[in-house]
Amino acid sequence: MLKRKKLLLLAIVAFIACSLGAQTNSPYSRYGYGVLKDQAVGPSKAMGGIGYGLRNSQSANPLNPASYSRVDSLTFLFDIGVSANYGKLSDGTNSENHYGGGLDYITILVPLKKGIGLSFGVIPFSSVGYKFGNTETTSSVTYTKSFSGSGGLSQIYGGLGYSTPLKGLSVGANASFLFGTLEHTRSLPSVGSSSNNSYTSTDYTELSIKAAKFDIGIQYELALSKKDVLTIGAVYSPKIGSNGDYKNYHYEFTGAGSLATADTISFNGIDAGLPESYGAGFTINRENRIVFGADVTYQKWSDVKYSTYMGDGMIDADRFNDRWRYNVGAEYMIDPYDRSFFKKIKFRGGLNYSNSYMNVVDAATSKAEGYKEYGATLGFGFPIRDNLGGRISYLNINFEYKKIKPKLNTMIDEQYFGVSLNMNINEFWFFRKKIE
């Protein structure tokens, strides 16, 4: 009991810390809601991000709430993940390196009764993080503009999964509270000599969002043979026509750097919607030794309303793209029933591809274009045995490579190398040791 209380205390502390989120460093996060964080956690992160057809008894799978019904009736599962990444940005002439990272997510999965699982936690939705500038020369006068941003959106979710009386069929639903603040700063200097530049204006913009989000999931298991089980899954998330609160703080400075004027503009209830989303996928499980699967996701961003107050320079017709994402991944274990440490190690890998949901206006051509994103993952799950209860927890280490390839050569090309670590704690639920 004491151990469980310590674990729950850790969960509360981690929930608070999770509001910080893993940091992004991408100039593309200046637009829309920032860089989207696909909601794969635990083992599915290393399997290319698959999840719609994944039924894993070792961790929660928020991508499809129907999977919660897979939880063992005596199992308490706690999963926490952190990550770090190294990125390289290039415009074809210049390049820049940077580092990022932080706490990724927290999930908890518990049984309510046989065939009914409850999961809750905090997972990211998007992230904003950038800092860049450019130097311009007009009539032999050189000056610099700078831009920076931070923040993002997170979601606290709670969901149920239910194994229906119809053999092999499970259904589930998540209800989430989506929240966060996107912060953008733009500083413009006075026109003076390059050695005597001083800012004459700074704009600090905030967009705060609070919204309800829902996901409805279904999974169906079908035995293909004595060794192979096929699981087909699908998830639907309805469109969110939410609103946000906007604030802009504008400061004017004299050439000497002292504050001349300050002004604040605020609007409540501006457009800040989120798209209707569809997902479908499958996995094939052979004797719990080999799992292979694939997913496809479609998000209808072209129907989303977004306020022009955010000053992204886009018109509604050009701002967002409908987004497609494809994932494929696999997991292999030598022998899940052997007591050997090595034979219980899980080897994982996967690939993914998506197009960007947002566009960027290219200053040279005035075209609005996005980018394509390619990713590859590799991971290992190392077993940790509980000698008292006989339960197996896992320490998962994942490696990821991501490349962002813009459609226009004049836009910025990005590459990321990341490593993530997550601890999956598997304990008995309502288990009492018998004393003789």
Task: Provide the pLDDT for residue 38.
Answer: 84
For the chain, the farthest-separated pair of C-alpha atoms sits apart, in whole angstroms, at 92
* Non-local CB neighbours of 85 within 8 Å, separated by 6+ positions: 99, 100, 101, 400, 416, 417, 418, 419
- What pLDDT does 51 receive? 95
Model pTM score: 0.88
> Which of 424, 423, 422, 427 lies closest to 387, judged by CA?
427
Hey, what are 215's tokens?
């996901």
pLDDT at 130 over 60: yes
Quickly state the pLDDT bin for 27 (edges 50, 70, 90). Answer: confident
The pLDDT mean for the chain works out to 86
Reduced to 3 states, what is the DSSP secondary structure of residue 15? helix
On whether the CB atoms of residues 62 and 400 are closer than 8 A, the answer is: no
Give 301-333 pLDDT, tens digit per residue.
999 999 888 888 888 888 999 999 999 999 999
Whether 9 shows a pLDDT value over 50: the answer reads no
Percentage of the chain surpassing pLDDT 90?
Answer: 58
- Domains and their CATH numbers in the chain: 2-428 (2.40.160.60)
Taking residue 181's Cβ as centre, other Cβ atoms within 10 Å add up to 17
Are 311 and 32 spatial neighbours (Cβ–Cβ below 8 Å)?
no
* Number of Cβ atoms within 10 Å of the Cβ of 373: 21
Q: Which residue has the tokens 């290039």?
A: 90
- Coil/strand/helix, residue 46: helix
pLDDT at 195: 45
Q: Residue 11 in 3-state DSSP?
A: helix
Tell me the pLDDT tens digit for each residue of 139-182.
Answer: 555 566 788 999 999 999 999 999 999 999 999 999 999 999 99
% of the chain at pLDDT higher than 70: 86
